[in-house]
Amino acid sequence: MIKMNGKRLFLLLLALAVISTSAAIFHYLAQTPPSTSVPKEESRLAGFPSGIPHVLGMGGTSFLSSQMEAKVILVSGSGSATAQADEATVILGVQTEDETASQAGRRNAELMTSVIKAMKDLGLTEEDMRTISYSVVPVCSKDDYTKIVGYRVTHMISVKIKNIDLVGEVIDAAMENGANRIQGVSFGLSLEKQEELRRQAYLAAISDANSKASLIAEALNITITGVYSVSESVYQPYQPYYEYRYAVAGVEPVPTTPIMEGKLSISVTVQIAYSFE
């Protein structure tokens, strides 16, 4: 029999107690499931490989799947419509000079009144005419620019002509009655004509897209079942056509001014996705 003194016996019992306690703790941990309190961000990313952001997870997969399941033919169609201009705008006016501003203004008003009357005699109304600029500027001596020798008054108006055949007559009548500034002529389309051309251009673009889709379907031996989506790609409204003609004070007007209006067009491009089977 092994004999131990009291001190050694105490140390032995203490060692056995420590070993027993450690074994109990290890057994408890082995039987306890891991904690499920994972941070929200980590739990949301737990199902995906490292380095893939969550936006490419389930949401991205669903999006790609829906796109892959949709069988579509994507084509673009273009169309345009053209017409002769049906209205015009003439910029014209009167320029006068005199020793005083009041005298130049008075003379200018007399001539402009005569011009407006001539316009009305051709069938235009006051609603067809509007002032776009009116200026009074001093005229300096050619020898001494610090010396004012008179004043120049310029009154410019815009005249809208709805009957395109009257453009030449309007210019002639204006110059014969005192207009000495003809700044230019622009040709355009009335609102009704613009809407008509816009509709024609859209129908032409859709017809072009239909023709392309039918050709593709025939070549690939597939059947078009409907339209998946439609979007407008480009819409190009008409651009006014300008013809500039100038006349200045002291120049005799040319009788029967010939005016030739140009053609104006509207263009449209659409994209259509056709479903097929």
| pLDDT (mean) for 57-69 | 46
pLDDT bracket for residue 237 (50, 70, 90): confident
Domain chopping of the chain, boundaries: 72-83+193-238+268-276, 88-189+242-259
Stated as kind and residue range, the H or E segment containing 41 is helix 40-45
The pLDDT tens digits of the residues spanning 97-141 come to 999 999 999 999 999 999 999 999 999 999 999 999 999 999 999
Which pLDDT does position 110 carry in this prediction? 97
Pick the CATH number of 88-189+242-259 from 3.40.47.10, 3.40.225.10, 3.30.70.2970, 3.40.50.1440: 3.30.70.2970
Report how far apart, in Å, the C-alpha atoms of 155 and of each of 31, 124, 237, 266 are: 101, 19, 32, 35
Compute the chain's Rg from CA coordinates: 44
Q: State yes or no: pLDDT of 42 exceeds 70.
A: no
Q: List pLDDT tens digits, range 138-180.
A: 999 999 989 999 999 999 999 999 998 899 999 999 999 999 9
Is the pLDDT reported for residue 63 higher than 50? no
